[in-house]
Amino acid sequence: MLSIKDLHVSVAGKPIVNGIDLEIKAGEVHAIMGPNGSGKSTLAHVLAGRSGYEVTRGTVTYMGKDLLALSPDERAHEGVFLAFQYPVEIPGVNNIYMLKAGLNAIRRHHGEEELDAVDFLSLVREKMKIVDMDESLMSRSVNEGFSGGEKKRNEIFQMAVLEPRLAVLDETDSGLDIDALKIVAGGVNKLRNKDRAIILVTHYQRLLDYIVPDKVHVLAHGRIQRTGDKSLALELEKHGYGWIESKAGAA
C-alpha cells in the first residue's frame, strides 16, 4: 500500500530525513520508534503533505500513486490520515462541524452522497463509543481547552469517523493516563482491519503490549537503523537508544 524509497527531507535547508526505505502492506501495523528529534514527526508530516518540508530525494508511492504529487486535502480524500502529536486548537469552530465538513468532502471525492446532520450525528454517536469519548467534547470548539489526553482521544475518534486506508498516529499514547491508554489502544485495535495500514509512532514499548505491531522500526539520525518484530521494542527498552546508536556507528 505504501512504498517509501530512499526518502530524503530537509527542513529550512537542514537535512532531517536521510534515506528512509519502508514498505507497508494493507492490514499491517508498523511501529516507528526513535529518540527525540530523530525525524519521526517529520516523516509523518511529509506523508500528510505539510508545507515547509522539502523532499530532496526519493519517492513515496501510495496505492500505486505518487503521493508527493497530491495536495494535503487530496491525500486525505485518498485515505491518508494523520493523528497529530500536537493537535491544534481552532477557536469558534465546532469540533464535529469540522469533522462533518471533512467527511463530506471525502465522500464527495468518492462520488458518495453527503451525510446530512441527522445521519452524521448517529454516525458520531456510534464512533464515540470506540474511544469512550465524552459527549460534551463534541459540541466544543476543535481541541479548544481539551486536556492533553482528550486531544489524543479526539484524534482517534476522528480516525474512526473518517475511516482512512493509511493512518499515521504520531505519539498518540503520550499524555494518556493508564486507563485512557488502554481505551485508546483498544479503539485502535478495533480500527485494525485487512484493508487498513497503520503507522504507530511511539516512545513507549508499553503501547505495543496493547497494539501488537507486525514490525518495529527504529529511526535515528533520519534513517531506519533497525527493523524487527515486537521483541525489538523490548530490547530497546532494556538497552536504550545508545545501543542502536553504537551499532549504527559500528556499521
The site that binds Mg ion (CB under 5 A) totals a number of residues, namely: 3
In the complex, the smallest distance separating the C-beta of residue 195 from Mg ion, rounded to whole angstroms, is 27
Verify binding: residue 172, Mg ion, rule CB under 5 A. Answer: no
- Compute the distance between CA of residue 26 and CA of residue 131 in angstroms, rounded to an integer: 23
**What residues make contact with other proteins under the rule CB under 8 A?**
48-52, 71-73, 75-77, 81-82, 84, 87-88, 90-94, 97-99, 101-103, 105-106, 109, 141-142, 158, 162
Select from other proteins, Mg ion, ligand ATP, none the partner in contact with residue 106, using the beta carbon and a kind-dependent cut-off of 5 to 8 Å.
Answer: other proteins
Of the candidates 5, 8, 10, 11, which one interacts with ligand ATP according to CB under 6 A?
Answer: 11
Instruction: State residue 59 phi and psi, 5-degree precision.
Output: -135, 155
Confirm if 213 and 33 have CB atoms less than 8 A apart: no
Instruction: State residue 23 phi and psi, 5-degree precision.
Output: -120, 125
Of 47, 68, 59, 55, give the one whose Cα is nearest residue 9: 55
Taking the least distance from each CB to ligand ATP, the nearer of 241 and 243 is: 241
- Compute the distance between CA of residue 105 and CA of residue 79 in angstroms, rounded to an integer: 12
Select from Mg ion, ligand ATP, other proteins, none the partner in contact with residue 141, using the beta carbon and a kind-dependent cut-off of 5 to 8 Å.
Answer: other proteins
Binding mask 33-62 for ligand ATP (x = CB under 6 A): -x-xxxxxxx---------x----------
Taking the least distance from each CB to other proteins, the nearer of 70 and 248 is: 70
The DSSP 8-state label assigned to residue 179 in this structure reads H
* Radius of gyration for the chain, computed over Cα atoms and rounded to the nearest angstrom: 18
